[in-house]
């Protein structure tokens, strides 16, 4: 049973711990308040709800050091979490004990982040803090997490202009961008636009997963198999470039329209038979996304200024933008939009792009061979319409 002791002008309560020892808490103004606290702790002990206060006294930095290695994360995700913690969470809470991190302080932290960072970045930072504190509560270091669940309240605000939405472009723009690229990268862009593959999937395309039958009796046919274990190129500061699972961890088969089968067959014939990587960089290895973007993609999309002859470089005329600030990922938006324009069922679009269809539609609806054939037909027709206009 709890008992109280006077300590100067304040009272201290002592109560029996589960291990038979005594726990104490000081600073109460009255004996009654001290005893009430002790009785509540003993009731929590009897009901199995008691949290040892000493377990919450470790700093968030110490808990983070134990927490991160215990997580089953992809290397790139672990790097992103570490960046969020190091640059944002640690300066605010790293030196504090877990029990001293209060809900209002977390709310103020999130509000401060929102004033200077894009919403997606704030969401990522808060996700890391939310996971940390939820696991601290699960480990019985704190009674409950001070991080609120994702908010569904508060004032409505206009969309944040810093959140850049994806866009779709016409085939004419795709072709204009390709015209500014070397042949290998021009084919890479065409594959991305007509297959909706992610950067890591298309940049990591390899011969062994590509099936082409340009002389098939019914017409050219083929597909690319995105392997569920090594189907995408990833980048990590620790591992460098490596092949791993595609986003979502699920592989898929991407069927190719006839014109793309023929184009890839011709292109493949120009590569050494021993070369597995379809779209290597100038050194023969996989492209780093940042290098591809800086050296080729941005100039092709944004154009460039005129340059006189200087330091051995020939003069260059100015080139206007085609689609300024276009992202490579917008080619996935483009594929989705093209298929939507041509009335392709959502379940078939999702399967092609590697999306999970939400709700009951994803449970009970399924892509059929006819739907997949319709996709190839509309993509082939789009390509042929473009060339009929160009050649007319």
Tell me the per-residue pLDDT of 138-191, one tens digit each, with 9 for 90 and over.
Answer: 888 888 899 988 755 455 555 555 556 899 999 999 999 999 999 999 999 999
Question: Where are the chain's structural domains?
Answer: 3-50, 60-138, 171-308+315-391
Structure tokens at 318: 């100015």
Tell me the per-residue pLDDT of 54-96, one tens digit each, with 9 for 90 and over.
Answer: 778 899 999 999 999 999 988 888 999 999 999 999 999 999 9
Average of pLDDT values for 111-127?
A: 93
Given a cut of 60, whether residue 384 has pLDDT beyond it is yes
Percentage of the residues of the chain whose pLDDT score is greater than 70: 95
Among 1-10, 206-215, 243-252, the range scoring the smallest mean pLDDT is: 1-10
Cα–Cα distances (Å) from 7 to 4, 32, 326, in that order, read 9, 14, 69
Given a cut of 70, whether residue 97 has pLDDT beyond it is yes
Unique residue bearing structure tokens 């941005």: 298
CATH of 171-308+315-391, one of 1.10.443, 3.30.70, 1.10.260, 1.10.287: 1.10.443
* 109 vs 111: CA distance, rounded Å: 5
Query: pLDDT at position 87, please?
Result: 96
Average of pLDDT values for 206-214?
A: 97
Residue 141 Ramachandran class (φ > 0 left, ψ -120 to 50 alpha, else beta)? alpha
* Residue among 78, 108, 81 at smallest CA distance from 93: 108
Given a cut of 90, whether residue 125 has pLDDT beyond it is yes
Within 13 Å and on the Cβ side, how many CA atoms surround 242? 11
Farthest-apart Cα atoms in the chain, separation: 99
Q: Which CATH architecture has domain 60-138?
A: Orthogonal Bundle (1.10)
């Amino acid at each position: 049973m709890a008992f109280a002791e006077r300590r100067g002008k304040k009272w201290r309560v002592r109560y029996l711990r589960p291990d038979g020892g005594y726990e104490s808490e000081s600073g109460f103004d009255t004996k009654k308040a001290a005893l009430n606290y002790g009785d509540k702790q003993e009731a929590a002990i009897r009901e199995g709800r008691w949290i040892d206060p000493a377990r919450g006294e470790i700093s968030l930095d110490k808990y983070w050091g134990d927490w991160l290695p215990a997580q089953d994360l992809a290397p790139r995700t672990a790097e992103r979490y570490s960046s969020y913690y190091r640059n944002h969470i640690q300066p605010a809470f790293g030196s504090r004990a877990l029990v001293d991190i209060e809900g209002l302080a977390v709310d103020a932290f999130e509000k401060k982040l929102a004033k200077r960072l894009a919403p997606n970045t704030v969401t990522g930072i808060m996700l890391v803090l939310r996971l940390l504190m939820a696991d601290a509560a699960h480990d019985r270091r704190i009674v409950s997490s001070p991080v609120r669940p994702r908010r569904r309240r508060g004032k409505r605000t206009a969309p944040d202009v810093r959140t850049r939405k994806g866009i779709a472009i016409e085939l004419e723009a795709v072709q204009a961008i390709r015209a500014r690229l070397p042949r290998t990268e021009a084919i890479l862009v065409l594959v991305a636009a007509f297959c909706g593959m992610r950067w890591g999937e298309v940049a990591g395309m390899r011969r062994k997963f590509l099936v082409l039958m340009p002389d098939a009796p019914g017409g050219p046919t083929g597909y690319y198999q995105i392997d569920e274990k090594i189907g995408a190129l990833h980048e990590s500061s620790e591992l460098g470039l490596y092949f791993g699972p595609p986003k979502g961890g699920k592989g898929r088969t991407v069927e190719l329209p006839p014109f793309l089968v023929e184009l890839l067959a011709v292109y493949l014939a120009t590569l050494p038979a021993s070369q597995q990587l379809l779209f290597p960089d100038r050194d023969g290895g996989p492209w780093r996304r940042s290098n591809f973007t800086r050296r080729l993609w941005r100039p092709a999309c944004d154009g460039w200024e005129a340059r006189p002859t200087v330091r051995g470089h020939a003069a260059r005329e100015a080139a206007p933008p085609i689609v300024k600030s276009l992202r490579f990922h917008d080619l996935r938006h483009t594929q989705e939009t093209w298929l939507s324009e041509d009335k392709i069922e959502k379940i078939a679009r999702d399967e092609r792009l590697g999306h999970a269809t939400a709700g009951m539609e994803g449970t009970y609806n399924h892509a059929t061979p006819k739907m997949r054939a319709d996709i190839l037909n509309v993509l082939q027709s789009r390509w042929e319409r473009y060339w009929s206009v160009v050649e007319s």
